[in-house]
Amino acid sequence: MDAVIHILSTNGWRDLTIREVSDVAGISSGVITHYFSNKRALTLDAINDATLQFVKALSKFEHRRSDAADRLVALVDYVSQPSPAGIPEWRFWLSLFGRMPFDKVLQAEVQKVHRLYGEIIVRLIEAGVEERGFRPTRAPDDIAVTFISTSFGLCTLMVADPQDMPPARCRRMLLDVLGQDLGVALEEAPSAKVLRVRE
């Protein structure tokens, strides 16, 4: 499954064959076909595994011991990198999104990622409201959808034009989007106090 993720991240769908997977994984194609009935089954298992990795990585920010603003900034720091540690790089997700309109099963996987990612963001927003640090201007669900759409869009630009959209710019823009919707200024410096109430 790691080989599938690697191939989709580096070469896209055209090079995704059982032969290529066996070469990258360093095992015989017979071993692969023994465990997976076909390339599609292997690919779907790899995508499901990537989804679980992504959600597991993001849920760590939800459970950190700090206030909600600190946790949201840490999450933004994480997702604004081209290759966040512990999950497939953004090129993998872009290859998945590019194929999704033509495949209902892939659509369902992308919807699952969005839903689970959204649930994490909503819970962090609700925690910030309980802490009296956030004063949202819209419903948490709407804020989460805006943030996720913006983060995936900016990550697309980060991959397509890394000179114009370096991680620091991506991070700043994501913090601005969240801060506007939460009624706070999320500070630029990760080590600084990250919450300032907007006037």
Q: What is the mean pLDDT of residues 140-165?
A: 93
Is the pLDDT confidence value at 1 over 90? no
- pLDDT computed for residue 188 by the predictor: 53
Q: What is the mean pLDDT of residues 169-178?
A: 95
Mean pLDDT within 14-38: 89
The pLDDT-based confidence of 192 (bands split at 50, 70, 90) is very low
Cα dihedral 60/162/182/189 (nearest 10) = 80
How many other C-beta atoms can be found within 10 angstroms of the C-beta atom of residue 14?
A: 8
- Burial of 105 from C-beta contacts in 10 A (0-12 / 13-18 / 19+): exposed
Predicted local confidence at residue 86, as pLDDT: 87
pLDDT for the residue numbered 13: 87
* Average pLDDT of the segment spanning 69-80: 94
The full length of the chain comes to: 199
- As a whole number, mean pLDDT of residues 14-33 equals 89
Beta bridge partners of 196: 185
To the question of pTM greater than 0.95 for the whole model, the response is: no
β-bridge partners, 197 = 184
In what helix (H) or strand (E) does residue 3 lie, and over which residues does it extend?
A: helix 2-10
CB atoms within 10 A of CB 28: 10
Q: Which residue has tokens 């459970």? A: 63
Side-chain-facing half-sphere of 35: CA atoms under 13 Å: 12
